[in-house]
Amino acid sequence: MLRILLRFPWPRSYPRTKDIPWLMDQIRLDPDEVLWWKAKLRAKTKLQTLELIGKTDPKLTAMARLVKMFVDTHKLRAVVAMGTNERSRFEYRPRRRIVLGSDSLIQALHELGHAKFGPSEALAVAWSTKMFMEITNGDIQRAKWHGHILTNEHELR
């Protein structure tokens, strides 16, 4: 992780697309976190209450609750909020808050990457992309790179 921070020092913005393979090679995933996501995405789990910003829909609510469970289970310091008119982001101030505006798994993982690693876009991009590939068993044929962001084909509609 130190090599990534030295190559992409904060507050450097987003890594270039050509750097993504190197970043993904450098990041190491916790096998317990991968297994947790695989199990939760398959199972129906008891839902928790969340902070609501504006309107929401069932898919966004389900994704936000998964993120909240991950935050609680892995003891990350962050509050989870959601709202369909919101831009997905991680807010550092005035409090650490993950705001989800879409039901995108990749976007949710990216914001969780910020909760884990802080402001480094390189670490957040590498961790979320590698985690997504592990959760989906490396099936990213439908995924497309848009700058530093990996999106699913169905999310482009």
Residues 83 and 55: beta-carbon distance below 8 Å: yes
End-to-end CA distance of the chain: 35
Query: Would you list the domain boundaries of the chain?
Result: 17-156
| In the predicted structure, residue 105 carries a pLDDT above the cut 50 | yes
pLDDT, tens digit, 9 for 90 and up, residues 106-117: 888 989 999 988
pLDDT, tens digit, 9 for 90 and up, residues 4-34: 766 766 555 677 777 777 887 888 888 898 8
The pLDDT score that the predictor gives to residue 21 is 79
The pLDDT score that the predictor gives to residue 155 is 45
Kindly give, in sequence order, each residue whose CB lies less than 8 Å from that of residue 73, ignoring residues fewer than 6 positions away: 36
Helix (H) or strand (E) holding 134: helix 121-135
pTM of the model: 0.73
SS3 content of the chain, % helix, strand, coil (to 5): 50, 15, 40
Bridge partners, 145 (sequence order): 150
